[in-house]
């Protein structure tokens, strides 16, 4: 039994007991990070509660949409599941599905795709502990105006905030809740700019901040 916070046993992390997988897009893959060691999942792996002692597998792919995650899911996400361990899957996408030419879905349509992704992972391995993540504001958008694209990203995020439990997830990382990654207009907010390499991707510091948000949620993840 792990430590109890608010009466709920919390997940315990060790190399023998836990396995962490991170799926998603270029923000997961680490595009614009100075090295693979500074990609967001790698930075998260060094923070408490993982403390460098738990395997973190990064299967993020630059440019990937939710349906492409689904197409690769059986091989890569489900293939990373380790029987006998607590398996935690963090998923971060939405922005490409909504904003890129060739996908260009509304926020609610993207959320429906992500709900299906979760259902497919749980059908393959009911033991997955799935952690969902909201999007970053975006200032380079192909399929919409910047204002309209960000409105769709907000609609996607609002759906996740309201429905992550019903989707079958164990937790939500709301990357906007810290007040840094905020949309205040069609140009990047001054609080957000120091954490960004350009209009879409984080720099090392930004990836480190998102990694901390993820690690904080893992500390509170229920053990069952």
pLDDT tens digits for range 177-190: 999 999 999 999 99
Assess contact for 217 and 131: CB atoms under 8 A. yes
Which domains does the chain possess? 15-219 (3.40.50.1110)
Assess contact for 135 and 157: CB atoms under 8 A. yes
Give the distance from CA 90 to its chain's centroid.
Answer: 5
Q: Which residues contact 133 (CB under 8 A, 6 or more apart)?
A: 24, 90, 91, 92, 160, 172, 173, 174, 175, 214
pTM of the model: 0.95
Return the pLDDT at 9: 85
pLDDT tens digits for range 161-218: 999 999 999 999 999 999 999 999 999 999 999 999 999 999 999 999 999 999 999 9
Question: How sure is the predictor about 7, in pLDDT bands with cuts at 50, 70 and 90?
Answer: low
């Amino acid at each position: 039994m792990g430590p109890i916070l608010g009466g709920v046993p919390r997940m315990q992390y060790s190399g023998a007991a836990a396995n962490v997988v991170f799926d998603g897009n270029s923000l997961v893959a680490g595009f614009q990070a100075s090295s693979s060691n500074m990609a967001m999942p790698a930075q998260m792996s060094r923070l408490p509660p993982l403390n460098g002692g738990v395997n973190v597998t990064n299967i993020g792919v630059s440019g990937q949409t939710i349906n492409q995650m689904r197409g690769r899911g059986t091989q890569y996400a489900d293939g990373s599941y380790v029987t006998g361990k607590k398996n935690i899957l963090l998923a971060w996408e939405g922005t490409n599905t909504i904003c890129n030419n060739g996908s260009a879905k509304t926020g609610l349509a993207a959320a429906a795709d992500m709900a299906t992704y979760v259902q497919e992972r749980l059908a393959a391995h009911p033991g997955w502990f799935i952690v969902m993540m909201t999007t970053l504001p975006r200032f380079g958008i192909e399929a919409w105006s910047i204002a309209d694209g960000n409105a769709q990203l907000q609609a996607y995020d609002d759906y996740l905030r309201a429905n992550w439990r019903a989707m079958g997830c164990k937790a939500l990382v709301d990357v906007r809740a810290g007040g840094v990654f905020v949309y205040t207009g069609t140009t990047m907010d001054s609080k957000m700019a120091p954490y960004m390499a350009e209009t879409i991707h984080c720099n090392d510091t930004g990836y480190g901040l998102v990694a901390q948000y993820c690690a904080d949620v893992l500390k509170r993840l229920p053990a069952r």
